[in-house]
């Protein structure tokens, strides 16, 4: 997980995140292995995109979306609403 977060933060240099990594715990899952072959057959995915280009596309999407609204405020409201 740490490597994934490092990659994301590298692609977002303006990010001022204060992520603190915790020590591993006994119940933590060190790695998940998934065979997505059946899913690919069911939904006929488009050609594979490498991780970094897909991540850049996702980051850009949320940057554009955040220009229209404050996404963090909306999430806070949804998470605390009863």
Cβ partners under 8 Å of residue 30, min gap 6? 24
Per-residue pLDDT 10s for the chain (82 aa) are: 567 777 777 887 776 777 777 788 888 877 777 787 888 788 877 777 888 888 899 888 888 887 777 766 666 555 555 4
Dihedral angle over CA of 50, 62, 45, 36, nearest 10: 70
Task: Return the structure tokens found at 37.
Answer: 């072959």
The structure's pTM equals 0.43
In the chain, where are the structural domains located? 1-15+50-82
Cα gap 4→14, rounded to integer Å = 17
Query: Which pLDDT belongs to residue 20?
Result: 75
Query: Which pLDDT belongs to residue 52?
Result: 87
């Amino acid at each position: 997980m740490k490597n994934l977060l490092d990659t994301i933060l590298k692609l977002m240099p303006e990010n001022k995140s204060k992520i603190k990594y915790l020590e591993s715990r006994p119940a933590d899952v060190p790695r998940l292995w998934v065979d997505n072959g059946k899913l690919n057959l069911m939904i006929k995915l488009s050609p594979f995109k490498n991780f970094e280009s897909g991540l850049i596309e996702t980051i850009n999407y949320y940057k554009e979306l955040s220009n229209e609204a404050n996404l963090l405020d909306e999430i806070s409201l949804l998470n605390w609403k009863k």
